[in-house]
């Protein structure tokens, strides 16, 4: 294994009671957006919500995470699969990368099949931005079903 990577996970506040089970399973199995860490040692050193629309925690949480060694922040898959998908994601990403110099990655666990089907019917992922945002979490049907 290479040098340990410390990440932070920010979840959408509408899922504020989420215990992170799918995210942590995906990290352990290196699935979804965590597939990028196949042969790397990764530690989650921060896990919090965005603070609710329009993302009050986004302004301050990255600073604390950075003090704890975080170099990458993952916006949890809930930002992508909620309806509507978070309309602030691109602004959050730009802000964090500019102010804190930290990489922002969209997604954690694979998109569950039930959300995949709904968003396909609603055409909510058709923009170029959303196509890029879901890319790391878009997996095969079998994997999506395992995350339902």
What are 73-122's pLDDT values in tens digits? 999 999 999 999 999 999 999 999 999 999 999 999 999 999 999 999 99
- Token code pair at residue 64: 């604390």
pLDDT digits (tens, 9 = 90+) for 17-38: 999 999 999 999 999 999 999 9
**Left if phi > 0, otherwise alpha if psi is -120 to 50, otherwise beta: which for 30?**
left
Rounded to two decimals, the pTM is: 0.95
Say what the pLDDT of residue 2 is: 67
Q: What is the CATH number of the domain that holds 126?
A: 3.40.50
How many domains, the chain? Answer: 1
Q: Structural domain of residue 137, as residue ranges?
A: 5-146
Nearest to 60 by CA among 69, 50, 74, 70: 50
């Amino acid at each position: 294994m290479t040098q340990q990577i410390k990440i932070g996970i920010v979840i959408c506040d509408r899922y504020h009671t989420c215990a992170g089970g799918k995210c942590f399973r995906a990290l352990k199995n290196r699935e979804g957006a965590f597939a990028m860490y196949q042969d790397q040692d990764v530690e989650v050193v921060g896990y919090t919500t965005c603070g609710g629309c329009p993302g009050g925690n986004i302004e301050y949480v990255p600073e604390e995470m950075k003090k704890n060694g975080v170099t990458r922040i993952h916006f949890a898959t809930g930002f992508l699969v909620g309806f509507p998908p978070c309309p602030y994601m691109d602004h959050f990403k730009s802000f964090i990368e500019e102010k804190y110099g930290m990489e922002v990655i969209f997604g954690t666990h694979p998109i569950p099949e039930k959300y995949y089907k709904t968003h396909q019917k609603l055409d909510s992922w058709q923009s170029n931005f959303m196509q890029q945002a879901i890319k790391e979490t878009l997996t095969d049907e079998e994997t999506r079903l395992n995350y339902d």
